[in-house]
Amino acid sequence: MKRSLMLGTILAGLSAAAGGAGAADWYAVDPGRARIAAQHPAFPSQRPLVSVRVPDDIARTAQSDWLRLGRLSEPGPAFTATYQTQQRRFPAYTLMDSLRHKEAFRPYEVIVLGEGPEVRSDFGPVESVKVLIRKDGSERQCGYWHWQQDNGRAYFDGWYCPPAGQEITDDDIRRSVWSVRWGTQMAARP
């Protein structure tokens, strides 16, 4: 399953983690305002940066919560997770559709290395894929995961990239997915 994908867009969240600016409608907030929380084992003493986007929504059901740790532009690990809800349905995405739909990594070449594990999460069964990203002669491996609610109104996805030079493992992906919990629960290691 080794395919080269030149992606114009992958994940807005990792764009900021890579050092770029996020969309103007994302606002940094106190972690207590987000609906999800994370305590990632690769960042044992760090709390994630939290941003929320609340678009105009008459039904007040639309919100995006975005957590991030580390920066892709640095050699250490990088992590991001997003949980989104909306009144209208999200398109029915497969894992690969979701990967292609995201908005970071614009300058990166993304090569799919293979399938990752399916992980049970607080949200439901999460699919994952392992990728290699390349830019300006450097490369690193990452895992991407995705879950979509059956009715199409909720969406959870994220990335984890181990430190530069390390391979992404199934356990890395499992720990990353399980580090994300509902904001009312204490994030716990699996």
pLDDT at residue 34 is higher than 80:
yes
Q: Is 131 strand, coil or helix?
A: strand
Residue 185 has pLDDT above 80, yes or no: no
**What pLDDT does residue 41 have?**
94
Structural domains of the chain in order of their starting residue, each with its CATH number: 3-182 (3.40.1000)
Q: Which one is predicted more confidently, 22 or 151?
A: 151
Paired tokens of 142: 């990452």
Give the integer Cα–Cα distance in Å for 127 and 164: 23
Quote the pTM value. 0.78
- Give the closest residue to 64 by CA, choosing from 126, 149, 156, 186: 156
Reported as a single tens digit per residue, the pLDDT across 92-106 is 878 887 777 665 556
**Model confidence over 143-166: pLDDT tens digits?**
999 999 888 888 899 999 999 999
For the four alpha carbons of 69, 71, 77 and 81, in that order, the dihedral sign comes to positive
> In degrees rounded to 5, what are phi and psi of residue 22?
-80, 175
- Answer whether 140's CB lies under 8 Å from 133's CB: yes
Please name the amino acid found at residue 39: Q
At 42, the pLDDT band (50, 70, 90 cuts) reads very high
130 forms bridges with which residues in the sheet? 114, 143
Q: Region 58-75: what's the mean pLDDT?
A: 82
Map tokens 């300058």 to a residue. 107
DSSP letter string, 25-74: T-EE--GGGSSEEE--TTSTT-PPEEEEE----TTS--EEEEEEES-TTS
DSSP annotation of 137: T
pLDDT at 79: 95
Residue 142, classified by CB atoms within 10 Å of its CB into exposed (0-12), middle (13-18) or buried (19+), is buried
